[in-house]
Structure 1
Amino acid sequence: MRKITAPFLLVTGIAGTCLTAAVADGATNNVSPVYRVSLPDGYRDWRVITIAHEAGNNNDIRAILGNDIAVKAFREGTRPFPDGAAIARLAYVYQSSPENDAVFPAPQSFVAGDPTNVQISVKDSKKYADSGGWGYGQFENGIANQSEPLLKSCFACHTKLGPSKDLVFSHYSP
């Protein structure tokens, strides 16, 4: 019994150490490729900037949230956004609500369904100088999407906006 116990303990100890290191590494490296953006702590407690509906292939409903710096810039119309501004776009399946529709005379109620992803935009004019001062990240179920082509497409799409928007699609809805 002793001959089996010592090697078993050694192997399980090594495996446990490797697993712990892998989990810790994943937790600290949960960042997007290209821009190295992570989910900011407490972003779900940020203030609402606006709500949006994306039709077409996405067909989602979005809550656009901002940290204090972003919200202040939106409210005051400050463009370009100051460094430190961060915007979170939380997307959900846009679905009808049979429960709500039962109350109305005709189907008309839509609600946020399952979450699809969270996108984060962070303003740092020095760090992200090559992308107009913005870094981007996309997360599904809290995990950074590692598709470099997807993340590179963020800047390409945002550059289609006029310079007065500072590469930001949303506007403030008081």
Structure 2
Amino acid sequence: MTKTSFAAFSLGCSLLVLAGCSKSEATKAGPVDETAVASPAVERYMPEYTAAGELVLPKNFERWVYMGSPLTPHGLNNGKANFPEFHNVYIQPWAYDEYKKTGVFPEGTIMFKELQLTVKGTYPDGSRDEASGRGYFPGKLNGADVSVKDSKRYADTQNWGYYNFNHGEPKFETAKLRPIGECAQCHIDGAKKDMVWTQFYPRLDQ
């Protein structure tokens, strides 16, 4: 074997050994966890506004932290409930984490309330029977209400602004700020902490 051939042979063996080591190390490390890759759902999403000051419908809200679903159906309110739908409430993951650490909702917090009608009832109170028993069951989606914390933009309503993205589907792409009497005043009068109904979202303070 010539010196050149021997050198080439040695180099080839070395590469095979290195390849074997790399494969072994990879096996020890285990497969790549694709779920660990950052996704839009876990990014630090902040409120977006148009040039006219309207709030843009938040993106990927359905992947945020789910808080709860209060319900006040017509059947239990003489057919005149102000909010007859399920209120499926979500908060950005980063804002949730910050609240859990400090007990304070940070600037830029968004509470996204997706509205969902109940399935048509078969009893006078609007309830119905399903496999799990008698009760109220979620049906068609019906728009969304959104609140945003910004102490500069919403100083007149205790740092929170309120928006409606339609009571129906599809949801509006943008929405105007609602008057204080339509939303903010109710939160001022009844919300437990910082304009948020934390009494109905135990996940926040557990």
- Give your verdict on TM over 0.5: yes
Name the counterpart of 2:62.
Answer: 44
Identity %: 22
Question: Which letter does structure 1 place at the counterpart of 2:62?
Answer: R
Give TM-score, length-normalised by structure 1: 0.64
Is the aligned partner of 1:155 residue 2:155?
Answer: no
The one-character-per-residue Cα deviations of 1:29-59 (angstroms, maximum 9, x if unpaired) are: 598xxx7322112212111012211233232
User: Offset at 1:62?
Assistant: 1.6
Name the counterpart of 1:90.
Answer: 114
Name the counterpart of 2:138.
Answer: 112
Is the aligned partner of 1:131 residue 2:160?
Answer: no
Moved over 3 A (4+): 28-31, 73-77, 100-104, 144-149, 170-174
**Which entry has the higher C-alpha Rg, 1 or 2?**
2
More strand by share: 1
Tell me the SS of whatever aligns to 1:115.
strand
User: Offset at 1:93?
Assistant: 0.9
User: Offset at 1:94?
Assistant: 1.9
Distance in 2, matches of 1:147 and 1:87, equals 14
CA RMSD of aligned residues (A): 3.2
Unaligned runs of 5+ in 1: 1-27
Equivalent of 1:166, from 194, 198, 201? 194
Distance in 2, matches of 1:48 and 1:40, equals 15
Distance in 2, matches of 1:51 and 1:110, equals 12
User: Offset at 1:124?
Assistant: 1.0
Distance 1:160 1:102, change over 3 A: closer
Distance in 2, matches of 1:137 and 1:51, equals 18
Distance 1:131 1:36, change over 3 A: farther
Name the counterpart of 1:65.
Answer: 90
Aligned residues: 138
Tell me the SS of whatever aligns to 1:53.
coil
User: Offset at 1:65?
Assistant: 0.3
Unaligned runs of 5+ in 2: 1-48, 123-127
User: Offset at 1:138?
Assistant: 0.8
Contact 1:37 1:120 in 2 (8 A): no
